[in-house]
Amino acid sequence: MSMQTNIKQSLARRWESYQPSKSTLVWGCAATAVATMIVGFSWGGWVTGGTSLEQAKAAGDTARSELASAICLDKFNASSDKAAQLTALNAITDGYKRRQFVEAGGWATMPGQTSPDRRAAEGCAAALAA
């Protein structure tokens, strides 16, 4: 045995001399792609198009309800018999009946609409009762 065969090659030297086969490269790329997707969807916050659409719709509905509730509060506060109406609303303990009270008062009917907005009435009644 010669002296060179007894000396171990360094890691860098072994890395330089490594020649992977094409199938090893293909499988390595495929495994990397799968691992990237697993990490992305699990911890990276990635979502599918359908999930994104659902989240955008829910955010839009929430924003619309908050705006409608603010308009309802403004309409309630602008009414001439605000104090009496607030006393009557606070006398009601059931949330469903409070919503009906706000709807019947017309404060939850948005401009250009003919019927009251349920979510606006719920938010408005909750804000007034607080």
In tens, the pLDDT along 15-72 reads 888 888 999 999 999 999 999 999 999 999 999 999 999 999 999 999 998 999 999 9
Range of the domain at 30: 3-42
Token output for 47: 């979502």
Asked whether residue 84 falls in the same domain as residue 63, the answer is: yes
Asked whether residue 62 falls in the same domain as residue 125, the answer is: yes
Average of per-residue pLDDT values in the chain: 90
Q: Give CA–CA dist 26/33, Å, rounded.
A: 11
Asked whether residue 69 falls in the same domain as residue 94, the answer is: yes
pTM here is 0.64
Asked whether residue 70 falls in the same domain as residue 113, the answer is: yes
Query: In the chain, how many domains are there?
Result: 2
Asked whether residue 81 falls in the same domain as residue 30, the answer is: no
Asked whether residue 60 falls in the same domain as residue 121, the answer is: yes
Helix, strand or coil, per DSSP, at residue 97: helix
As to burial, measured by CB atoms within 10 angstroms (0-12 exposed, 13-18 middle, 19+ buried), residue 126 is middle
